[in-house]
């Protein structure tokens, strides 16, 4: 396996919570960190924060709303076009139960919203990036889950 400073790691849902913490830790170790989020202003703010905290300039941001499956395909296409390799994919994006945990919310495509974001999005992104990950072998895929997905 390559030294961490020679690796490119993508972390979905990295503008907050666990994803952001992992991005900060990997950036401090000088890895190339690709941050994903759904709010461009917040994403650029997190990139700036992590660069300033770590001195690591190898931090990039990609925007995609994981509740819209078409955006995941576009994200994967941009990543393949922009990045020469991908050593680690950390699927950390997710949403919790919302204001009323029993309320049904629907994605644009008609899926239950939490199922779309917390499961389908990670599966689709992984599937779309699989050839890139294979070409970067030895590569890894890490899926993060929480009790909120029950």
As a whole number, mean pLDDT of residues 12-19 equals 95
pLDDT value at residue 104: 84
Mean pLDDT within 51-58 = 98
User: Per-domain residue ranges for the chain?
Assistant: 4-145
Rounded to two decimals, the pTM is: 0.92
Report the C-alpha gap between 77 and 86 in whole angstroms: 13
Structure tokens that stand for 91 in this block: 């699927």
d(CA 55, CA 70): 34
Distance of CA 65 to the CA centre of its chain: 11
- The reply to whether CATH 3.50.50.60 applies to domain 4-145 is no
Answer yes or no: are the C-beta atoms of 34 and 83 closer than 8 Å: yes
């Amino acid at each position: 396996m390559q030294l961490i400073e020679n690796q490119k790691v993508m972390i979905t849902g990295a503008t907050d919570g666990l994803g952001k913490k992992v991005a900060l830790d990997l950036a401090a170790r000088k890895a190339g960190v690709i941050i994903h989020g759904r709010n461009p202003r917040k994403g650029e703010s997190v990139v700036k924060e992590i660069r300033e905290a770590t001195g690591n300039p190898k931090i990039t941001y990609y925007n995609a709303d994981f509740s819209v499956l078409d955006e995941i395909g576009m994200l994967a296409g941009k990543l393949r076009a922009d990045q020469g390799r991908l050593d680690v994919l950390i699927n950390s994006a997710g949403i919790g139960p919302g204001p009323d945990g029993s309320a049904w919310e629907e994605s644009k495509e008609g899926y239950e919203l939490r199922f779309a974001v917390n499961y389908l999005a990670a599966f689709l992104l992984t599937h779309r990036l699989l050839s890139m990950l294979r070409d970067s072998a030895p590569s890894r895929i890490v899926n993060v889950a929480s009790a909120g997905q029950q």
